[in-house]
Structure 1
Amino acid sequence: MTTFFFHVALTQMLMCALLLSATCHRSTPIKLFILLMFCGSGYLLSTVYASVENNTLLWWLGHMGGNALPGVFWLVSISVFGEQKFIKPWQYVVASLTLAVPLTAKLFELLFAVSLSQYEAIHGLIKYGALLLELVLIGHALFISAVQWRNDLVQDRRYIRGGVITAAGFYIIMVIILEQLLQIEWQGLAYFKGLLLAMLTTAVNYVLFQLKSASLFDIPEKPVSIQRKVSVESKEIQKILQSMEQDKLYRQDGLTIAGLSKHLSIHEYKLRNLINGELCYRNFNDFLNYYRIAEVSEQLTQNDFKTTPVLTLALESGFRSLSSFNKAFKVKHGITPTEYRKKHVFNDEPT
């Protein structure tokens, strides 16, 4: 029965990767999710085929897939659930370490015909250092999912965060601790792992292909002009835009979607759908930051504010810190607020 569950999980992963491959050109998160499925499939190969000998092709696929899985899982989490729209090069490097470190150690042993276990200090550093990195990455992925859960406007993605991704993260942590760290050998553990993994992969496929899978990975952006046209057709959209453009509620410190829902007398579920489906914002912070950045950008071009510190403008617009403001501003304009101010103010002064 245990082998049956692992076969089910393996089949589900391969099917998921195959079905998503037709849309992999649309975004990086989809490609990473496919890679995650292949890593999981590689990990399962050594479990499904228990008689696989060391250093054979199947063994290498299982070894590489299992070690790469935590890093890829982290990349999937920050690309789908994080606030940033693009993964930075250093994040790819960090994620690759979960595979690079044990792979380098294994290749070293093969090339020089030695066993690193003979050198306890080096072996312990590599083994426990790699395990610590894996646990940190999985923990950070769960942290991102939890922190951004409330602000996510895509209901399908909130289901993934609240259930499947959290369960998958804890599953990986369980395997790392029980198998690699504590090295527990218990027949019931294998049965439990197989059952849970089969349930997880089935749930992933159900959510992806029954609950509007495209919305989990990317959202088509509409220009601002289209957003303004929508406001003419919907009174609720008018209320939302008025609360931002005229009432400037985005300035409120700690404004949540629940608070805005109460202020506008619009049910929170419907408000999420309106901001996401009609105005095309990825999450609630993106929605607020659009107006915050617009306000500060305008102020930075005016001579009346040229002596006002950037921090003051950022805090008054609703940002909680200068670092979060600088990050959002640079994503929008491609330059820092100081550079933006110099470009627009001092270049316009009479000579």
Structure 2
Amino acid sequence: MNTANIFISAMAISQFIFLAIHFGLQYRNQIGRLVAAFCVCAIAYLVHDSLSHGNSIWVHLTLEVLSALAPFLLWLVAYLLFVDDRRTPVIAILSITLCLVLEVAGELSFSIISWQQPSHLYDRLVSLLPQMILLVFSLHAIGLVARGYKADLLEERRKFRVAFIAGLSVVIAIIVSGNMLDNILSDGLPGSGDLYDILVSICLFSVILFFNLLSIQASKGANQLLALKPATSSSQDTVDQAPERRDQDARYVAMIEKAMSEEKLYEEPGLTLADLARHVGIMEYKARRIINQSMQYKNFNQFLNSYRINAACELIKTTHHPVSRIAMDVGYSSLSVFNRAFKDLMKQTPSEYRKAHQ
């Protein structure tokens, strides 16, 4: 590693250390611990990149495992922050376990038992498959940001999505894809490795510096979000509102409830927040604020499912229609989506609910 890369890596490491300390002390919860752990893993990646092959195999192995955990921890932070209807991520846990096993197997195979010549297939398996798994974690983290953006009713979280997860996920995706390319083109181009390392270090330093500045200037809403507290209006905020504002919000709530309960707008497949706002005759940002602050929903899908599932429960109790027809009647275009939403809200399947209320 040349002097320029060492200097840039050291600057990036200093930013990760600051971020780890800041989150570890400021947010003493899951998010704080996960971000601090991610920083440790990112530092391990930068340090591992500077080690020569003469170092201990166990040092290399430890840093390799920590580096591999970085995309998974980033994905886990995204999952906790931006997914409201969470389940135990069994597939993710199994995937990262497989990745770590392959990383360890590959390191041991090529170092401790290097006298044995592994097959080309084995070589590719332990080299490329872990990188592919980590790339999927990175891309899926970006997907979590984008997928829930439109339905998100929390303004601070909408801003925080792109600034926090997308930026870091892109960095990890660059790192993982670069490692994959290095494994595919094992000989590489003369001098290309140092140039790539410098670019990655610059990218890491720039993103983490930006995020450190952002976290220092975080607003009250952003701090509530990172602290995993409900980011809704406080009672003091409600008291401080002008009477005209409260009356206007109450009218908007009544208009929204009428559209959903009496006019049954929820029956429209693919209904969006923009559609609801247009139907009621208010701006979309106002509809978002009203549903979040006055009606206490975090995202539009939760709000919409509450009306649809309540209507479905009534139809299940009072009719003998098949569950598939009821799902379509209340606005779902997919039976699997309906079954999942029903079980999330009612803690039982539609069939079990029907048996219990016959």
- Per the normalisation by structure 2, the TM-score is 0.80
Indicate how the Cα distance of structure 1 residues 106 and 51 shifts in structure 2: closer, same or farther if over 3 A, else same. closer
Corresponding position of 1:264: 280
Residue 148 of structure 2 aligns to a residue whose secondary structure is helix
Corresponding position of 1:72: 73
What percent identity do the matched residue pairs reach? Answer: 25
The root-mean-square deviation of aligned C-alpha atoms, in Å, is 3.1
Q: How far, CA to CA, are the matches of 1:231 and 1:61 in structure 2?
A: 61
Higher relative contact order (CA 8 A, sep 6+): 2
Residue 244 of structure 1 aligns to a residue whose secondary structure is helix
Report the more deviating stretch, 140-149 or 123-132: 140-149
Q: How far, CA to CA, are the matches of 1:106 and 1:33 in structure 2?
A: 27
Report how far residue 52 of structure 1 moved. 8.4
Corresponding position of 1:250: 266
Residue type at the aligned position of 1:191: I
The 5 A counterparts of 1:1-351 are 2-22=5-25, 26=29, 28-29=30-31, 31-47=33-49, 50=51, 54-55=55-56, 59-82=60-83, 84-107=85-108, 113-114=113-114, 118-182=118-182, 184=188, 185-209=192-216, 210-211=218-219, 212-215=222-225, 218-220=228-230, 234-300=250-316, 302=317, 304-305=318-319, 307-345=320-358
Deviations 1:29-61 (A, max 9, x none): 5544443233222222224x5458533776444
Deviations 1:310-335 (A, max 9, x none): 11111211222111111111112221
Q: How far, CA to CA, are the matches of 1:148 and 1:69 in structure 2?
A: 23
Report the more deviating stretch, 88-97 or 313-322: 88-97
Q: How far, CA to CA, are the matches of 1:292 and 1:161 in structure 2?
A: 28
Report how far residue 89 of structure 1 moved. 2.8
Residue 281 of structure 1 aligns to a residue whose secondary structure is coil
Q: How far, CA to CA, are the matches of 1:116 and 1:218 in structure 2?
A: 51
Q: How far, CA to CA, are the matches of 1:316 and 1:196 in structure 2?
A: 50
Indicate how the Cα distance of structure 1 residues 206 and 96 shifts in structure 2: closer, same or farther if over 3 A, else same. farther
- Per the normalisation by structure 1, the TM-score is 0.81
Residue type at the aligned position of 1:40: A
Indicate how the Cα distance of structure 1 residues 190 and 107 shifts in structure 2: closer, same or farther if over 3 A, else same. closer
- Count of aligned pairs between the two proteins: 332
Corresponding position of 2:241: none
Structure 2: runs of 5+ lacking an equivalent: 233-245
Structure 1: runs of 5+ lacking an equivalent: 223-229, 346-351
Indicate how the Cα distance of structure 1 residues 29 and 339 shifts in structure 2: closer, same or farther if over 3 A, else same. farther
Deviations 1:195-253 (A, max 9, x none): 2212211233344451413325735399xxxxxxx999732233233322222222211
Q: How far, CA to CA, are the matches of 1:275 and 1:219 in structure 2?
A: 18
Report how far residue 65 of structure 1 moved. 1.9
Conserved? CA contact 2:79–2:144, under 8 Å: yes
